[in-house]
């Protein structure tokens, strides 16, 4: 499983987000990005996803399935064992 490394804002490296797939895979994120993401709550995420146009239940279901596949694929690329259930 990849390690999560938060890159200090005082570091000389300017990395916003990076996946390093070497012997010990790790995900590197900038401290400012990490702080922004941890500041989100469920209401803010819901507001960001709200669209003024209504979509049908079928369209919503298709979007959910697409998001699931994309999440699984991203997890696989990041080195997670997605088929083992954890």
pTM: 0.42
pLDDT tens for the chain, 86 residues: list them. Answer: 788 888 887 777 777 888 888 888 888 888 888 888 777 765 555 555 555 566 788 888 888 888 888 888 888 888 777 776 54
* 25-57 CB burial, b ≥16 within 10 A, e <16: ebebbbeeeeeeeeeeeeeeeeeeeeeeeeeee
What is the reported pLDDT for 52?
Answer: 52
């Amino acid at each position: 499983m990849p390690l999560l490394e938060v890159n200090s804002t005082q570091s000389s490296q300017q990395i916003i987000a990076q996946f390093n797939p070497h012997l010990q895979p790790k995900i590197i994120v900038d401290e400012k990005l990490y702080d922004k993401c941890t500041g989100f709550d469920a209401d803010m995420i819901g507001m960001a996803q709200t669209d003024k146009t209504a979509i049908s239940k079928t369209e919503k279901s298709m979007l959910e399935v697409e998001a699931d596949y994309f999440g699984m694929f991203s997890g696989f690329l990041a080195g997670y064992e997605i088929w083992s259930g954890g």
